[in-house]
Amino acid sequence: MKKIPLLILLVSGSVLWAQNKKPYTTSGKKVTVYTTAEKTTQRITPAGTTLSFSELKQPLETQISVFVNPNKTFQTVMGIGGAITDASAETFAKIPKDKQQEILDAYFDVNKGIGYTLARTTIHSSDFSSGSYTYIKEGDKELKSFSVDHDKKYRIPFIKKAIAAAGGKLTMYASPWSPPAFMKDNNNMLKGGKLKPDYFQAWANYYTKFIKAYEKEGIPIWGISIQNEPMATQKWESCIFTGEEERDFLKNFLGPTMHKEGFKDKKIIAWDHNRDMLYQRASTMLDDPEAAKYVWGIGYHWYENWSGGEQMFDNLKLVHEAYPETNLIFTEGCKEKFDINRIGDWKLGELYGTNMINDFNNGIVAWTDWNILLDETGGPNHVFNLCFAPIHANTKTGEIMYTNEYYYIGHFSKFVRPGAKRIACSPSRSAISATAFINTDGKVAVIVMNKGDEKLNYNLWIEGQAVEVESQPHSMQTLVF
């Protein structure tokens, strides 16, 4: 019997698998359209009837279309969620029990709410805390006094309730805003400054102490980021790392320490700042093999328009193209300068829709909003850096206020579940923007946003089959089938 070379067997097996893989078909599929629209009561509201596909071989140029191909898949989605900060937890604790349950259902129950599966929290204080604090006594380089007792009042109980509401599993990662004051060259947790070389190891140990302490409290920690916003000198907790300093701290201290302490499986996120410098910081980290081996992904924020410009999605695209094996994760975004009179401003949600559609289309695997809950002032915040959240609670009256941010995020998080893959999606007009995913159960979710002032109709088109959908002005839709 003639032996077939192993290489040919592998190739033949690959060809056989490709031949047996069934192409996606719309046969028998019914489309449910969920809509959120300005000047209506629709809030992720399903249409009363489903839509059926019919033949449309070649759409005309005059027909607006969203072309979708579920056979062309891209990155796998890990999760979508928000940050459970001290401010969120303190606000949560101040509202009545029935309102607390409403918040938990709204965020973490996929049927009653929008089904968050991902959460970020802080390693000790951030600006969204009622005051600055650390987990150790000042000057304790050996970390003998390390304790997360501070967090047991508000934050840890809230996180535990969130995990339960999410069905017992919530992917949680944590970020530090600043080392303790004595570890920094400005002797201050606020206003930037740098980590002193004598404290590199102590600070690396601090992350592992945090993970152990939270996991002892029953809160699994999936990963950490190295430093929140390492290029920003803020009036709140902040610490500066150049790209080379962050790289060297990771490869010489934090990475080895995580491995030594038994946390090799924990994910480490680098950068954790804006898209403006994303490529330079990613390349500095990932072009060094000794640093890159510790990096799960590159995190980023959306505040690059602080200088008066626009969001820089092309920088995200470039990093994804240059380092396709490295995960990209959106770690923070919110609308700043809270004004309760703007609680119903439709532009809030459209900011989220624009960013989420572009971010996923440029290759990210996870998306994390900033505070999931704030009070009637846009805080609490110990330096009065007050911001919008998807949900605000009036701690004086108990009233729960939903901005349309909540619904725009929900058009993703409710229907794009962990394990979903992004699929090819291409609108034929700039009047609408879109992205699409196929979930592990085979359900497709196509998300379409209309930021314009005009109602328009478009065809959802898949391989010569289409359904016609009406898009209202200033609306977000998720088409599920």
Is the distance from CB of 231 to CB of 217 less than 8 angstroms? no
Joined together, the tokens standing for residue 221 give 């920690």
Instruction: Looking at 371-460, list the stretches that DSSP marks H as alpha helix, in order from N- to C-terminal side.
Output: 404-413
Task: State whether residue 474 is helix, strand or coil.
Answer: coil
Neighbouring residues of 58: CB distance < 8 A, sequence distance ≥ 6: none
243 vs 279: CA distance, rounded Å: 11
Neighbouring residues of 324: CB distance < 8 A, sequence distance ≥ 6: 363
User: Which residue has 């911001």 as its token pair?
Assistant: 387
Residue 31, φ and ψ in degrees, nearest 5 = -100, 125
Which amino acid is located at 298 in the chain? I
Neighbouring residues of 327: CB distance < 8 A, sequence distance ≥ 6: 78, 296, 297, 298, 365, 366
Residues noted as catalytic: 229, 332
Neighbouring residues of 339: CB distance < 8 A, sequence distance ≥ 6: none
178 vs 189: CA distance, rounded Å: 6
Burial of 428 (0-12, 13-18, 19+ CB in 10 A): middle
Beta strands in 243-365 (DSSP E): 267-274, 297-301, 327-332
Instruction: State whether the Cα torsion 287-292-293-297 is positive or negative.
Output: negative
Strand partners, 31: 51
Distance of CA 175 to the CA centre of its chain: 14
DSSP code at position 254: I
Strand partners, 234: none
Phi-psi map region of 90: left, alpha, beta (phi>0 left; psi -120 to 50 alpha): alpha
Beta strands in 317-416 (DSSP E): 327-332, 366-371, 373-375, 391-393, 400-402
Question: How many residues appear in the chain?
Answer: 481
Q: Which helix (H) or strand (E) holds 351?
A: helix 346-361
